[in-house]
Amino acid sequence: MAFTERFQSFVCEGDSISCEVAGLEIIARIVRDDCPDAPDERQDGFWPSLYKDAPGFIGAGNHWRERFAQAQAKAEAVMEAWRKDEWFYCGIVLSVALEGVELENHAASLWGIEANYPDSDNAYLTDVANELLPEALDAGRAVLS
């Protein structure tokens, strides 16, 4: 049991995929995350560091200056793309229906996922939907019983 349909390589809020399992229709949709925190506020180690005990430490060894400069440039590009709303954080929310009647609008979800992240194909969004599928099925079956 899995979604055979995949989210596109560029997604918008409200985009969805669906599948049918044992007569239940499961819809996975993208909902914009309402947390306004920037990527560097959400993720320890977002910015590269030269300090070994700091999150984001790039590691010792040869060519550390080049590795640090590349990591810094990438972090700056990711932040700039986020500021321009080229990518966003979202939740994958699954709902369950039977014969067109919605049983559970929010049967399962995972939040804080990057959508349209630079150099990403959004494949992870479908992976998350598949991981949430058993939980959504359980919620739908619970409503039926």
What are the sequence ranges of the domains in the chain? 16-36+87-144, 39-83
Quick one: pLDDT at residue 59?
Answer: 87
Residue 125 burial (C-beta neighbours within 10 Å; 0-12, 13-18, 19+): buried
Residue 1: pLDDT band (50, 70, 90) is confident
76-134 tens-digit pLDDT: 999 999 999 999 999 999 999 999 999 999 999 999 999 999 999 999 999 999 999 99
Rg of the chain's alpha carbons, rounded to an integer?
A: 19
The model carries a pTM of 0.90
For 44-61, the pLDDT digits (tens) are 999 999 999 999 999 888
Bridge-based pairing state of the strands 101-115 and 16-21: unpaired
Using pLDDT thresholds of 50, 70 and 90, give the confidence band for residue 33. very high
Q: What whole-number distance in Å separates Cα of residue 88 and Cα of residue 112? A: 9
